[in-house]
C-alpha cells in the first residue's frame, strides 16, 4: 500500500500507565506529531502559522483502538491526507507495530484552519 507519509517512533516508558500499556491520550500525541511532520514536508509549519495567529485545529477525531502498544515497542504511523472542502481536511492515520505490522489503531482526524478571529479559512492545499 501507498501512503502520503510514514513515520516510525518508539514507545517511551513515561508514555505507559499503570496497566503497562500506552495511555489512550498518548496516541493523540503520536498522531499529531505524524500530521505535523507530514505538513512540514508540504511546507506547512504548525508553529509558524500559530505565530501568525493562524491555528490548525482538530474539529473531530475518531479512534479505534485495536491492540495496545507497550514499553519499548517500535511502531509506524501511516498518514493519508484528503481535502474535504475548501476549509476542511481529513487525515486517515493507522498505527502498526513494527515487529509484526500488527494493526494497533485506526484514526480519522478532521481539521480546519482558523484565522485570528476564529473563522475557518482555506489554507491547506496538499496535492
Give the active site residues.
17
Look up residue 69 and give its three cell numbers. Answer: 502498544
Residue 55 or residue 83: which is nearer to its own copies going by CB? Answer: 55
Residue numbers at the binding site for its own copies (CB under 8 A): 12-14, 16-21, 23-26, 28-29, 32-33, 36, 40, 46-47, 50-51, 55, 57-65, 68, 70-72
Closer of 2 and 51 to its own copies (Cβ): 51
Closest distance to its own copies from the beta carbon of 50 (Å): 5
Cell output for 10:
518508539
Three-state DSSP string of 75-118: EEEEEEEEEEECCEEEEEEEEEECCCCCEEEEEEEEEEEECCCC
57 or 84: CB nearest its own copies: 57
Other beta carbons within 10 Å of 111: 19
- Nearest CA to 49 out of 112, 115, 118 is that of 115
Cβ 97 to its own copies shortest distance, Å: 14
User: Whole-number minimum distance, CB 62 to its own copies, in Å?
Assistant: 5
Name the CA radius of gyration of the chain, rounded.
15
Amino acid at each position: 500500500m501507498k501512503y502520503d507519509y510514514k513515520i516510525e517512533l518508539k514507545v517511551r516508558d513515561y508514555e505507559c500507565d499503570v496497566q503497562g500499556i500506552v495511555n489512550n491520550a498518548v496516541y493523540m500525541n503520536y498522531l499529531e506529531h505524524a500530521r505535523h511532520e507530514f505538513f512540514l514536508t508540504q511546507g506547512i509549519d504548525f508553529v509558524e502559522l500559530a505565530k501568525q495567529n493562524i491555528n490548525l485545529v482538530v474539529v473531530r477525531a475518531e479512534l479505534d483502538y485495536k491492540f495496545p502498544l507497550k514499553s519499548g515497542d517500535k511502531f509506524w504511523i501511516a498518514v493519508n491526507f484528503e481535502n474535504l472542502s475548501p476549509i476542511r481536511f481529513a487525515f486517515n492515520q493507522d498505527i502498526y507495530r513494527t515487529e509484526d505490522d500488527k494493526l494497533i489503531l485506526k484514526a480519522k482526524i478532521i481539521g480546519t484552519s482558523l484565522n485570528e478571529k476564529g473563522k475557518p479559512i482555506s489554507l491547506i492545499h496538499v496535492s
